[in-house]
Amino acid sequence: MVPRDGGIFAFFAFLILATVLFWCYRKVKAGYKPYFRQIPALKGLEEAIGRAAEMGRPVHFTPGSDGFDTSFAGMTLAATICLAHIAKLCAQYDVRLLVSNRRPEVQPLTEEIVRQAFLAEGKIENFRPTDIRFFSDDQFAYASGVVGVISGEQTASNIMLGGFYAESLMFAEAGATYGNIQIAGTASTAQIPFFVTTCDYVLIGEELFAAAAVLSVDPAQVSTLMMQDIIRIALVCLIAIGALAATFGSDVIRQLILK
């Protein structure tokens, strides 16, 4: 058994992360309710769907370009969790919810989530499977499909959560043109600028995951958030100490991390 380069640090870092995660999970399972920072975009969801109800127009939602097989799977997951909440609100307000998918494997999942939400609210008769659409695996065909929905169905609100690529600009522009309230959330750093400049509310990067955790009230999600915060603050301290040590000529901490 030969450790790889960097394998020793990786192993201990992994152990620490896993232990903290397990500890947080146990704590949340036992009923611990952590403090949650306010996320304005979540309030925005209610506003967006409420306005659609007033106007009697549909809400559009898309879980982005990613599926569950890429490194961005987490975004899709968060998007589907938020979708459950959005679908619930839509069912309550009697708003038609249009969902556009790019990934064939996400399509049945979104359909099931919306169906469950409408069922739980006793509004299953308002659920139309044809409103949950799959356009194409192809980026541009998907993009123009979404633009078509926003323009053709005269949506009142446009909600875009998940992993996005170049198509983000087209969606946001279409939504803006037709006067939609727009809410977006993604950790695709290249696309955040467009959302910041065109949307009413934006979940920047990990705010998307945080929103999902808040909405799901699922111990697995909440404990992940707690664990991340603990590790993050620990890293901030570690980096600060490491940098101070480097300033005074000691490279020990750096070397340890690269072991």
Site for other proteins in 239-258 (CB under 8 A): 239-240, 242-247, 249, 253-254, 257-258
Tell me which of 36, 40, 119, 120 binds other proteins, using CB under 8 A: 36
Measured from the CB of residue 56, what is the shortest distance to other proteins in angstroms?
23
Work out whether 224 is an interface residue with other proteins (CB under 8 A).
yes
Give the integer Cα–Cα distance in Å for 114 and 112: 6
Among residues 16, 12, 87, 20, the alpha carbon closest in space to that of 226 is found at: 20
105: three-class secondary structure by DSSP: coil
Work out whether 172 is an interface residue with other proteins (CB under 8 A).
yes
Give the integer Cα–Cα distance in Å for 114 and 86: 9
**How far, in whole angstroms, is CA 138 from its chain's centroid?**
21
- Beta carbons of 134 and 104 less than 8 angstroms apart: yes
Q: Which is nearer to other proteins, 196 or 217 (CB)?
A: 196
Give the integer Cα–Cα distance in Å for 168 and 190: 10
Q: Which is nearer to other proteins, 46 or 218 (CB)?
A: 218
Q: Which is nearer to other proteins, 110 or 158 (CB)?
A: 110
Tell me which of 3, 56, 122, 179 binds other proteins, using CB under 8 A: 3
Q: Which is nearer to other proteins, 161 or 187 (CB)?
A: 187
Q: Per CB under 8 A, which region of 40-48, 50-58, 91-99, 162-170 contacts other proteins?
A: 162-170
Q: Which is nearer to other proteins, 59 or 75 (CB)?
A: 75
Task: Write the DSSP symbol of residue 21.
Answer: H
Work out whether 231 is an interface residue with other proteins (CB under 8 A).
yes
Q: Which is nearer to other proteins, 95 or 225 (CB)?
A: 225
Measured from the CB of residue 253, what is the shortest distance to other proteins in angstroms?
6
Work out whether 50 is an interface residue with other proteins (CB under 8 A).
no
Among residues 100, 135, 97, 93, the alpha carbon closest in space to that of 114 is found at: 97
Work out whether 136 is an interface residue with other proteins (CB under 8 A).
yes
Angle between helices 40-55 and 73-93 (to 10 degrees): 40
Work out whether 74 is an interface residue with other proteins (CB under 8 A).
yes
Task: Write the DSSP symbol of residue 124.
Answer: G
The DSSP result for 194-254, as a single string, is HHHHH-SEEEETTHHHHHHHHHH--HHHHHHHHHHHHHHHHHHHHHHHHHHHHHTT--HHH
The DSSP result for 199-215, as a single string, is -SEEEETTHHHHHHHHH
Q: Which is nearer to other proteins, 53 or 225 (CB)?
A: 225
List binders of other proteins among 180-219 (CB under 8 A). 187, 189-190, 192-194, 196-198, 204-207, 209-210, 213
Q: Per CB under 8 A, which region of 40-48, 85-93, 119-127, 148-156 contacts other proteins?
A: 148-156
